[in-house]
Each structure stands twice: as C-alpha cells, then as structure tokens.
Amino acid sequence: MAEKFDMIIVGAGPAGSAAAYTAAKEGLKVLLIERGEFPGAKNVMGGILYRKQLEEIIPEFWQEAPLERPVVEQRFWFLDKESMVTTSYKDKSWAEEPYNSFTVLRAKFDKWFAQKAVQQGALLINETVVTECIVEDGKVIGVRTDRPDGDVYADVVVLADGVNSLLAKNLGFHKEWKPQEVALSVMEVLKLDKKTVNERFNVGENEGVSVEIFGEATKGALGTSFLYTNKDSVNIGVGTTLSGMIERKMKPHDLLEELKAHPMIAPYLEGSESQEYLAHLIPEGGFDAVPKLVGDGVIVVGDAGQFVNAIHQEGSNMAMKSGKLAAETVIKAKELNDFSEAALDSYRTDIYDSFIGKDLKKYRDAAHTFEENPQYFEEYVPMMNQAMNTFFTVDGTPKWEKQKKIAAKVTAGRGKTGLVKDMYKAWKAVK
Amino acid sequence: MAKTLEDKQYLVRFNCDTESHLIIKDHQVCATQCPGKDCTVFCPADVYRWEGDRMFVGFEGCHECGSCRIGCPNDNIEWHYPKGGHGIVFRMA
C-alpha cells in the first residue's frame, strides 16, 4: 500500500494551510496537495486579510508575512451616474500593532503561508490535482491524484478545495451550487507608484484604505465593487451574484471597465498600468448553503464549506479559523484513534458555535432579501444621491420647500408604506 | 491601462494543456435548446463563442472560476480542473 498520512489536505489556500500548519505543529504527519504551480497561483480575493484569525495561528505574523498595507480607513461610496454619497471611518490605532486588517496579494501571501506549514513539518506537493476521494465501506481513506501511481492514504482527508467544492459534491455533501449561491467577481491590479497612492488616498507610507462601492457599479444587481490600496498598486474589482449577471445579461469585464471609467473613480486610477486581470467565484449562499461538513474520515473547510460573510466581506479569516478547527479535531481524533463521523463531529459543532456559524446565521436572509428586492440597489442609491443634490444645490429655494421635495421624491417610487416596509425588511435581514 | 478583455488576458500567464478541461456534452443542446447562450455573455474570459452552429471553447484562456458549469441552464458543460500545474498562473492576487 502507498504511503499513509495522519491527514491529507486538498488545497493550499488559507483554510488548507491553516489546517496543515496547526496539525504539523502538533507533530501530525501531514500532506498538503496543491493543484497550482505554487500555492496562490490559482487563488484570488479582493485583498482584505483580517488580523485576528491568523494571529491565533501565527502570533505576530505581520513581522514576516508579505502584506501590502494595514488598512486604517474604510470608505463606503454610494455611486450614482455623476455623483456619490460617501461615508468612512478612519482610525490611527489601526496603523499600529496589532492592526485590524491588511491588504494582501494572494499569490505572494498564500505561498508564504503554505511555506510556514512546511516549516512545521507538513509535506507540500504542488502541481497535483485530486480527482476524487478514495472511499471504502462508506469511509474516506485517501485521495486519488492525477499523478502516476497517485493514490495516497490518510486517517482524515480535509477538503480545502475552494468554492467549486467538487470533492464534497462528489461525496454527496451538497448539490451543484445554484447561480444565486455564488458571486462572480473580476478584478484588476493596477500599478501606481507608492507616492501617488499615498497622495490620492490621503494616507501615510504604511497605511492603506479599503473602499467598498455600492450602486451604479453593479447596475442595480446584488453585488459590490471595491478599490483597495496595495504598496505600489491598487486592486479594483466588481462582482454580482452569478444569477444577477445572467438575468441582466451583463459581462463582468464590461462592468469593470465602466467602473474604471466612472467619473468618481477614474481620477484615482489615472496614469496607472494594468498588471493582472483575475476572475473568481465567491461562495455567497450563506447559512442555508453550508454543506454537510463532516463524514467518516473527511472534513470540509473554507470556501468549500461556503464560509463567507458577504455583508462584511469576510472570507479568508473564516477559512483560516475553519482550517484550525479541523486540525484540532483531527488531533483529538488521533488521540482516541477514532476517525468516524461521530468522532469528527465536534468540528461541525465548533464551527456553529464560533463566529463563523453565528455570523452566517445572523445574515441568513440578507442575500435573499436583497436579491428578491432589487429596489435597495436599483432605487435607493440613486435616491440618496438625488436627495443630496436637491438639498445642497443652492438655487434660491427655501430649505423647507427642499425638504418637502425630497420627501415627495423619496415616497414617490414605492409610496410611504412601501418605504417603511423596505426599511423594516432590510433591518430584519441584517439585525 | 488595459481596456479590452484581450489586452487583459495578455497580462495573465497560462500554462496551457494540450487538451481541453471544458467539454460541451452535447453541441445539439447549445444549438437547439439554448436561445440565450448565457455562457458567451457572463464568462469573464470570453472562453465561449457561438459560431453559428457550434459552441467554440477557447479553454486556453480559462480562469477556472466555475461560472459556466454552474450557470449553464442545460447543465451541458463537463468541467474539470486542468491537469496539475496547468492552466492559469496568477502572479499577484
């Protein structure tokens, strides 16, 4: 029989590397399998990495990890065609240890994180696709890869194979995702020298800004766009649910180009140079899309488990947390030498007891509410902009009259009851 | 700044396999049961192109996102990952 490991992890993204690091550190024999040329070669995110969950795995990781900038300001832009309403929060304490979040470039970051797991003793094999789990008597006992003689065995297989989650699907843990359960996002990395980034975004040398953009950029479809500052580049991207893209017959690339050319955005990008174009899916099915997480000899982590909080743009932190919890479960299971579904089930309860399960539950109805009621994105963002325009354009109209005009406009579309209902529905979805 | 999708695709490195990891299960289904041809619209890399009677699949430029597999209204795309080490290679993020 081929070599046997304590744990095989499929996919060296944040979830997989977190699991590999945690288990290898405790002395487990760990194999980490990555299909790309190197960890990160296939991986994409907008770019925000939250500090807390990685710190729980590698204390003071910021001293050595390849990070771009600590985020000191979060901006929110509500875009109309030629205007925007903005709000933001800036916090100087976020520019100092222990920081709150960072912008990162995943090809660099993932490579580093996987290497940290290797330093702890995990074996990393790149350029290898796991084609299926090897199942015997209903129990997962290893994986089949696309290498010659490519069967490898382990007590537990951790599926960290990302949003498409083909291996868990093949095990019957979930059906094919529906187009409303995934968001299609495209992004471009634009080179811009450090000094220009600092000046345009009004930040210091080692300070970054995240901008979340709503409204016009997604043509009213459920989705967001973003602009994040790296050291000497910016990431700009846009995404909507795949169903939104299909229904409105939108091309993601067109959305990106329109966003880049938008009069509120273009000045930030002027003179920049395209470095890379990237497309990826984001699991946004939420609480009700979470698949079966545990079986005999198998655990599902990260995007493969639909662990993304779309409202707060959190994902990689949930991935790392779930990877760590999976490894801790396997460590305990090894002590008892029991790798059955019952023995591994504490992983599932740990997930639901943690912020992952709780936050997914909190926003359970959010995506559904916003998808079914496009007025939030289609009508209210332009309405906000029009109200500001009416109120702040000095044209000799008395302010009382302006207020009346705004009130009339606001209630014209959906009526007073419609407006109150919408507000209640939105509050209920995120409360 | 790259403006066209073609310009953007030139920015990305592809280590292409010789055989496609994306297979149209039945070309007749595209021809007769799919008036929208949605994949030719939403695919972020324009991998799919309708050529009058047949769906052309330019798998070499695929970002491996999975949208076509999920979004095909007829479940008519057999979708695999490219062989280990092949396909798209992101350098940045």
- Asked if A227 and A200 count as a contact pair (C-beta separation under 8 A), the reply is no
With both helix axes pointing from N to C terminus, report the angle between A316-336 and A341-353 in degrees, rounded to the nearest 10: 150
pLDDT value for A2: 66
Confidence of residue A367 (pLDDT cuts 50, 70, 90): confident
Q: Across the interface, do B84 and A252 touch by the CB < 8 Å criterion?
A: no
Mean pLDDT of A25-48: 97
Is pLDDT above 80 for A368?
no
Contact list in B for residue A253 (CB cut-off 8 A) is 5, 8, 44, 46
Per-residue confidence (pLDDT) for residue B93, from 0 to 100: 63
Bridge partners (DSSP) listed for residue A298: A157, A295
Contact A55, A148 (CB under 8 A): no
**In percent, how much of chain A has pLDDT > 70?**
100
Q: What is the mean pLDDT of residues A232-238?
A: 97
Number of A:B CB contacts under 8 A? 141
Rounded to whole angstroms, the Cα distance separating A121 from A25 reads 7
Q: Which range among A194-203, A239-248, A419-428, B79-88 shows the weakest confidence by mean pLDDT? A: A419-428
Separation CA A65–CA A194 (nearest Å)? 19
Q: Does the distance separating the beta carbons of A182 and B11 come in below 8 Å?
A: no
**Dihedral over alpha carbons A116, A310, A197, B65 (to 10 degrees):** 70
B3 — contact with chain A (CB < 8 Å)? yes
- Whether chain A has a CB inside 8 Å of the CB on B40: the answer is no
* pLDDT at residue number A157: 98
pLDDT of residue A380: 87
Q: Chain B residue with minimal CA distance to A183?
A: B67
ipTM: 0.97
Q: Greater confidence, A199 or A403?
A: A199
- Alpha carbons A84 and A387: distance in angstroms, whole number: 11
- Give the pLDDT confidence score for residue B16 in this predicted structure: 94
- Does A180-283 match A4-68+104-177+288-353 at the fold level? no
- CATH code given to domain A180-283: 3.30.9.90
Does the beta-carbon distance from B92 to A189 stay under 8 Å? yes
Q: Bin A20: left if φ > 0, else alpha if -120 < ψ < 50, else beta.
A: alpha
The mean pLDDT of chain A is: 94
Mean pLDDT confidence for A154-173: 98
Q: Does B67 touch chain A (CB under 8 A)?
A: yes
Q: Can you read off the two tokens belonging to residue A267?
A: 């000045």
Whether the CB of A13 is below 8 Å from some CB of chain B: the reply is no
Could you give the C-alpha distances from B84 to A127, A128, A416, in angstroms and in order? 4, 4, 58
- In the prediction, which pLDDT does A431 show? 76
Is the per-residue pLDDT at A213 higher than 60?
yes
Model confidence at A220, in pLDDT bands (50, 70, 90)? Answer: confident
Give the domain B5-89 fold: Alpha-Beta Plaits (3.30.70)
User: 3-class secondary structure for chain A?
Assistant: CCCEEEEEEECCCHHHHHHHHHHHHCCCCEEEECCCCCCCCCCCCCCEEEHHHHHCCCCCHHHCCCCCCEEEEEEEEEECCCCEEEEEEECHHHHCCCCCEEECCHHHHHHHHHHHHHHCCCEEECCCCEEEEEEECCEEEEEEECCCCCEEEEEEEEECCCCCCHHHHHCCCCCCCCHHHEEEEEEEEEECCHHHHHHHHCCCCCCEEEEEEEEHHHCCCCEEEEEEECCCEEEEEEEEEHHHHHHCCCCHHHHHHHHHHCCCCHHHHCCCEEEEEEEEEEECCCHHHCCCCEECCEEECHHHHCCCECCCCECHHHHHHHHHHHHHHHHHHHHHCCCCHHHHHHHHHHHHHCHHHHHHHHCCCHHHHHHHCCHHHHHHHHHHHHHHHHHHCCCCCCHHHHHHHHHHHHHHHHHHHHHHHHHHHHHHHHC
Lowest mean pLDDT among A35-39, A189-193, A245-249, A402-406: A402-406
Helices (H), A224-315: 242-247, 252-261, 266-269
| pLDDT: which is higher, A409 or A214 | A214
* Shortest CA distance from B9: residue in chain A: A277
Band of the pLDDT at A312, cuts 50, 70, 90? Answer: confident
Query: Tell me, which fold does domain A4-68+104-177+288-353 have in CATH?
Result: FAD/NAD(P)-binding domain (3.50.50)
- The reported pLDDT for the residue numbered A288 is 95
A221: pLDDT strictly greater than 90: no
Q: How confident is the model at residue A156 (pLDDT cuts 50, 70, 90)?
A: very high
Domain boundaries, chain B: 5-89
Closest partner CB to A272 (pick from B1, B69, B75):
B1
- Round to whole Å and give the CA distance between A65 and A57: 13
Instruction: Give me the numbers of helices (H) and strands (E) for chain A, helices first please.
Output: 15, 17
Check CB contact of B66 with chain A, cutoff 8 Å. yes
Q: Is the separation of the CB atoms in A122 and A32 below 8 Å?
A: yes
Residues of B in contact with A235 (CB under 8 A): 93
How far is the C-alpha of A123 from the C-alpha of A117, rounded, in Å? 8
Could you tell me the residue ranges of all domains in chain A? 4-68+104-177+288-353, 180-283, 367-430
